[in-house]
Amino acid sequence: MAKDYYETLGVAKSATQDEIKKSFRSLARKYHPDTNPDNKEEAEAKFKEISEAYEVLSDENKRRMYDQTGRVDFGSGRSDFTWQDFSHFNDFSDLGDIFRNIFGGNFGFGAGSDFSSGFGRQEENLDLVTNLRVNLEEAYYGASKSIKYRRNETCSHCKGTGSDDGKLSTCSVCNGTGQQRIVQGQGFFRMVSVTVCNTCGGRGKIPSKPCSTCKGIGSVPVTENLEIKIPKGSPDRLRLRVKGKGQSNFGRTGDLFVILNIQEPSGMRRMNDDIYLQSEISFPEAALGAEREISIFKEKLTLRIPPGTQPGEIIRIKNAGMPHVNGHGSGDVLVEARLVVPKHLSQSQKELIAKFGEENGKKHSWFK
């Protein structure tokens, strides 16, 4: 794993949510930049590390993905923290500092000041998300899949500036700040909404002469063809990041996130990293035991049926299931025994079965 979030928060992998929250609160107080004025940069870096760890481990879905794959993609990078998560801090100024350190920008929140609902300059989310259908065999072996999608690419003529001659001037609407502030309310509490400037799109500058190719937008639409590497053992809904293949806007480019939709074949089901299927066995095989060959995709496996196998019993073939993604080893193949009773018997077969029943103290009046 690139990052050990459990180690960052100083908790065990079996830690409860209360233990994780308690540890985070303690570390947040310790590394709050305001309590470390002589070492503020290092404190801010540490605070961001523990905040990222808490974001993952406090969310059951993210924690499950992290435990299984060793990573969690954050998409646009926004956090899922709630106000309640910070209720242990003393006053509003602490909250402002915490949100500023997590999200960046100039989040203002203090006694006697404006209550700002913005996070400073809000930039457009340039990330793209697409779904990719993958069958279970491709996830088992790993594969390369082609995808085709549309995105905006940086304009080659103006190099993303949006200006035909490369010259930019300060936006007269936002005075170069890239944001517009809307104040609502009066008296002690005022709500200040900070939004992206509609005129300059948050850049603070506008082209003196719009680009003839992109019309001042800074990007042009293109059709992208990509080869996506599917890791061995990929779970359903795994999100793969392709850096620099999202939308482009005025020199900034987001990432592409590919979400895998794993399709299971008929008669086969994935259970974590185990593969479950059913196999028909005869009464002699169930009673006496036997060996037979079964197939998992291109793999030939030996199914060893123990003597006395009961209908519905699970026979396990170890280390033949899905590979552990980003790890070593594999899950198992679980085979449910389905006993098949023949509908048509020869006379000799009937006699043998009747004799077997008699030896077990049972006679059948219908047999002749």
The whole-model pTM stands at: 0.58
Give how far the C-alpha of residue 7 lies from the chain's centroid of Cα atoms, to the nearest Å. 21
Comparing 101 with 193, the larger pLDDT belongs to: 193
Q: Which pLDDT band holds residue 73 (cuts at 50, 70, 90)?
A: low
Comparing 69 with 67, the larger pLDDT belongs to: 67
Q: How many C-alpha atoms does 261 have within 13 Å on its Cβ side?
A: 5
pLDDT (average), residues 46-61: 88
Confirm if 130 and 225 have CB atoms less than 8 A apart: no
Distance, in Å, from the CA atom of 189 to the CA atom of 57, rounded to the nearest integer, reads 35
Evaluate if residue 177 carries a pLDDT over 90. no
Report DSSP letters for 43-100, one per residue: HHHHHHHHHHHHHHHTSHHHHHHHHHHS----TT------GGGGTTSSSHHHHHHHHH
Amino acid symbol at 270:
R
pLDDT (average), residues 169-173: 88
Least confident of 96-105, 177-186, 201-210, 244-253: 96-105
pLDDT (average), residues 63-81: 60
pLDDT at position 89, please?
39
Distance, in Å, from the CA atom of 176 to the CA atom of 367, rounded to the nearest integer, reads 98
- Quote the DSSP letter at residue 124: P
Integer angstrom CA distances of residue 49 from 56, 77, 239, 260:
11, 13, 22, 28
Confirm if 132 and 261 have CB atoms less than 8 A apart: yes
Least confident of 64-78, 101-115, 163-177: 101-115
pLDDT at position 301, please?
96
3-state SS class at 293: strand
CA-nearest of 51, 48, 33, 43 to 94 is 33
At 262-309, the pLDDT tens digits run 999 999 999 999 999 999 999 999 999 999 999 999 999 999 999 999
CA-nearest of 54, 165, 155, 173 to 102 is 54
CA-nearest of 339, 348, 317, 344 to 330 is 317
pLDDT (average), residues 120-135: 79
Q: Which domains does the chain have, with CATH numbers?
A: 1-106 (1.10.287.110), 268-359 (2.60.260.20)
At 214-232, the pLDDT tens digits run 888 888 999 999 999 999 9
Evaluate if residue 192 carries a pLDDT over 70. no
pLDDT at position 78, please?
41
